[in-house]
């Protein structure tokens, strides 16, 4: 009798476990080099290889792309805000939504890259 009660719990548990394992595995597949490539391909034209937004595009755009050094030193900034800015874009600016091109894991990998490279 007890088996019938515990079995569903075990099955549900397994389901959740395998789900998070799969997610972790996916994140692990994006290497540092790949994150760098994602950044250079998608972001560097405006924000610059060094993240300081000193680019040709930067000079032409209004509002200007932000230097990550100042974005990241803003105490009100956090991973969630970074994620939504990149995923959904910023209305009325050249910062477009990247959720059409990049997966959630790719956006997270880019955030990790930016923080590692450009946070003072
Ligand atoms: C076409 C130029 C352009 C490209 C390409 C671009 N950005 Fe931006 N980005 C901007 C501009 C302009 C702003 C400033 C928006 C504003 O003033 O609020 C900005 C702002 C941001 C911000 C700050 C948002 C905030 O709330 O302060 C982040 C973070 C950011 N970009 C990340 C990225 C990442 C990561 C990529 C690549 C996946 C990228 N951007 C690609 C132009 C660009």
Q: Where are the domains of the chain?
A: 1-30, 31-118
- Angstrom distances, CA of residue 44 to CA of 20, 110, 111: 32, 11, 13
| Fold category of 31-118 in CATH | Cytochrome Bc1 Complex; Chain D, domain 2 (1.10.760)
Give the pTM.
Answer: 0.82
Residues 6+ apart with CB under 8 A from 45: 55, 57
Q: Which atom of ligand 1 is nearest to the CA of 43?
A: 37
Is the shortest distance between the CB of 53 and ligand 1 below 6 Å?
A: no
pLDDT digits (tens, 9 = 90+) for 16-48: 555 555 555 555 689 999 999 999 999 999 999
Residue nearest to atom 39 of ligand 1 (CA): 43
Radius of gyration of the chain (CA): 19
Residues in the chain: 120
Select from 37, 44, 46 the residue to mutate for testing ligand 1; criterion: most ligand atoms less than 8 Å from CB.
46
Tell me the average pLDDT across 75-101: 97
Instruction: Check if 95 has its Cβ closer than 6 Å to any atom of ligand 1.
Output: yes
Closest of 79, 99, 80 to residue 89, by C-alpha: 99
């Amino acid at each position: 009798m007890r088996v019938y009660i515990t079995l569903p719990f075990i099955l549900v548990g397994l389901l959740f476990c395998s789900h998070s394992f799969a997610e972790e595995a996916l994140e692990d597949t994006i290497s540092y080099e790949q994150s760098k490539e994602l950044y250079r391909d998608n972001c560097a034209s405006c924000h610059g290889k060094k993240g300081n937004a000193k680019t040709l595009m930067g000079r032409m755009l209004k509002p200007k792309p932000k230097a990550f050094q100042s974005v990241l030193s803003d105490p009100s900034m956090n991973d969630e805000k970074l994620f939504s800015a990149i995923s959904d874009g910023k209305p009325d600016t050249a910062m477009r939504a990247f959720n059409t091109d990049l997966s959630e894991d790719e956006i997270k990998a880019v955030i990790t890259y930016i923080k590692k490279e450009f946070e003072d």
